[in-house]
Amino acid sequence: MDKIVINGGKRLCGNVKISGSKNAALPILIATLLTDDKCVIDNVPELEDINTVIKLLKHLGKKIKKEKNTIIITGNGKLQTDAPFNLVSKMRASVLVAGPLLARFKKAEIPLPGGCAIGLRPINIHLDGLVKLGAKHFVSRGNVKIIAKKLKGTQIVLDFPSVGATENLLMAATVIDGKTIIKNAAMEPEITDLVNFLVKMGADIKGIGSKILEIKGVKKLGGCEYKTIPDRIETGTFIIASSITSGDVKILGAFPEHNESLIEKIKLAGIKISMTNKVLRIKGSKKIKPVDVETQVYPGFATDLQPLWMALMSIASGESIITETIFENRFQTVAEFIKMGANIKINSAPACRSGVKGDSAIVKGVKNLTGTKVVASDLRAAAALILAGLSAKGRTEIIGLEYLDRGYENIVKKLKKLGADIKRVIDN
Ligand code: UD1
C-alpha cells in the first residue's frame, strides 16, 4: 500500500499546467457507444477512472488505442449490452452506458451501483427519465434491466438537476425518434462539453449550456475528433493549494469561467487572483479571512471543492460555516482535519446563514495545522488532506491513495515542481 508523505510549510511557487477534465472525458468516451465510426478524443487525463471506462468499453465490444492523452475508439457494430459488476462497483459513472445502449439496442443491463463513501447516490432520476422515453426497467439479482420496444422523444422534467441523469438522457435522446426536452437539466461545464461532442458527432441539440435542452433525434451519429475541456476541479485544487501555502502559483491552460464561484470566495478570503494572457495567478496572503460557502449545483460552489475549502478555512482568521447540500455524507474528512488540530463542529440542523437545508460544519480557524497520520475516504478528501498537509507544521502521512489515483493526473509531480516537500512511498 502506498502513502504520501508531506513535510509541510513550504510556499508553492511557479507554473502548473491543468490536465483534461475527468468528469468530461468519462461521458464523452461512453458517448462513442452511439456510433461505430472512429472517434479520437484528445486531452484525456491518464487516471484510474479512465482505465476503468476503457475496460468497460472494451468489454462492450469497442476497440481502443491509447496514446498518452489521446484515445482512439473504433467499433464494428456489434456491442454487448451488459456492464459488468466489477467495473460498475469500481466507478459509478459506468451507469452512463445505459442511455446509449438502450437507444441503439433497446436494452441495457447494469448492476445497481449502490452507495459510496460520499452518499447513497441512487439512479432513480436516470431511470424515471428513461421510462418517460418509453423504457421499462426491473431489478433481477442486483442488476437493473432496462428494455424498450420503441423509444420516443418527450418532455422530461428532472426532479433535481442531476449531472449523471442529464448525461444519460441526453445521450439516449440523440438517436431516438422525435424531440426530447430535458427541463431542469444540470448545467455543469462537463455537460456542455458532452453536448458539444454529440453535436460534432451529428446530434441536433439546442439550449446548449442552459437548464432546458432540446434534442431532436437523428438517424445516425458519426465519428469525430474532439478535445476535452480542462479539469475545473483540478484548477480549483491548485487555486486553493496556492492560497493555503501563501504561495504564488500561475495556472496554465485553465478556463477560469468554470471556477467563478470559487474565485469570488477566494477574493473574499483576501487572496489576490488575476488573469493575464490566459494565465491565472494566485498570490496567497499570510492572513486568510473566514468565508462561508454552501455547495450548489453549477454555477454554484462545487461540492467536489467543499472539503478543500474546509482545509483552507481551518487556518482562517475566524469562524466560517460550510454547508453541504448535494451529498449527504461529505463531511468524513472532518475527523481527519481534527486529528491535525483543526477546530470543526458538525451541525446536522441547518446552521447555514441563508437558511438552506443541509449539514453544516462550523470551522473555527486555528493558527496552524499539525502533521500526523490521516486516511483519505474518497477522491476529494484525499486532495483536501494533501492541501492540509502542505500547510501543516511537520510531517503528514496520507493513506487511501486508491481514491486519489482515480481523479488527479500526476498531482505529486505537479506539487513537487511547485516546491512542495511531498513524496509517494510504499507503506510497510
Ligand atoms: C457528478 C460528478 C461528481 C460531482 C457530482 C455533483 C462525474 C463522474 N461525477 O456525479 O464528481 O460531485 O456530479 O456535482 O461527473 N441523485 C439522486 N438520484 C439520481 C441521481 C442523483 O438522488 O438518480 C442525487 C445524488 O445521490 C446526489 C445528487 O443527486 O445526492 C447529485 O448527484 P449527481 O448530480 O447525479 O452526481 P453524479 O453524476 O453522480
In the structure grid, which three cell numbers stand for residue 408, read together?
A: 488527479
Instruction: Report the residue count for the chain.
Output: 428
Cell numbers of 49, please?
Answer: 477512472
Q: 39, 116, 224, 352: which one is catalytic?
A: 116
pLDDT at 329: 78
Instruction: Indicate if 116 belongs to the active site.
Output: yes
* Cβ–Cβ under 8 Å, residues 210 and 179: no
Query: Along the 428 residues of the chain, how does pLDDT read in single tens digits?
Result: 899 999 999 999 999 999 999 999 999 999 999 999 999 999 999 999 999 999 999 999 999 999 999 999 999 888 999 999 999 888 889 999 999 999 999 999 999 876 566 666 789 999 999 999 999 999 988 899 999 999 999 999 999 999 999 999 999 999 999 999 999 999 999 999 999 999 999 999 999 999 999 999 999 999 999 999 999 999 999 999 999 999 999 999 999 999 999 999 999 999 999 988 889 999 999 899 999 999 999 999 999 999 999 999 999 999 999 999 998 778 989 999 999 999 999 987 543 333 445 689 999 999 999 999 999 999 999 999 999 999 999 999 999 998 899 999 999 999 999 999 999 998 77
The Cα 413–Cα 95 span in angstroms is 32
Judge if the beta carbon of residue 299 lies within 6 A of ligand 1.
no
Q: Is 301 in the pocket of ligand 1 (CB under 6 A)?
A: no
C-alpha angle 182-180-80 in degrees, rounded to nearest 5: 100
Q: What is the gyration radius of the CA atoms in the chain, in angstroms?
A: 22
Ligand 1 and 121: CB distance under 6 A: yes
Question: Strand 225-227 to strand 39-42: parallel, antiparallel, or no bridges (unpaired)?
Answer: parallel
Report which protein residue has its CA nearest ligand 1's atom 28: 326
Under 8 Å between Cβ of 96 and 26: yes
From atom 13 of ligand 1, which residue's Cα is the shortest distance away? 163
Q: Which three cell numbers stand for residue 32?
A: 462513442
Distance (angstroms) between ligand 1 centre and the Cα of 164 equals 6
Judge if pTM exceeds 0.85. Answer: yes
* Complete domains list, the chain, with CATH: 2-19+230-426 (3.65.10.10), 22-227 (3.65.10.10)
C-alpha cell at 312: 483552507
How many other C-beta atoms lie within 10 A of the C-beta of residue 427?
A: 14
One-letter amino acid at 416 equals K
How far, in Å, from the CA of 383 to the mean position of ligand 1?
A: 19
Cis peptide before 299 (omega within 30 of 0): yes
Contacts with 3 (C-beta within 8 Å, 6 or more apart), sequence order? 397, 398, 399, 401, 424, 425, 426, 427
Residue 351 pLDDT: 39
CA of 55 to the centre of ligand 1 (A): 22
Q: What is the pLDDT of residue 354?
A: 38
Euclidean distance between CA atoms 73 and 60, whole angstroms = 12
- DSSP codes, 227-287: EPPB-HHHHHHHHHHHHHTT-EEEEES--GGGGHHHHHHHHHTT-EEEEETTEEEEE--SS
Beta bridge partners of 266: none
Helix (H, G, I), strand (E, B) or coil at 63: strand
Q: How far is the CA of 38 from the centre of ligand 1 (A)?
A: 30
C-alpha cell at position 397: 502521512
Q: Are 289 and 363 in contact (CB under 8 A)?
A: no
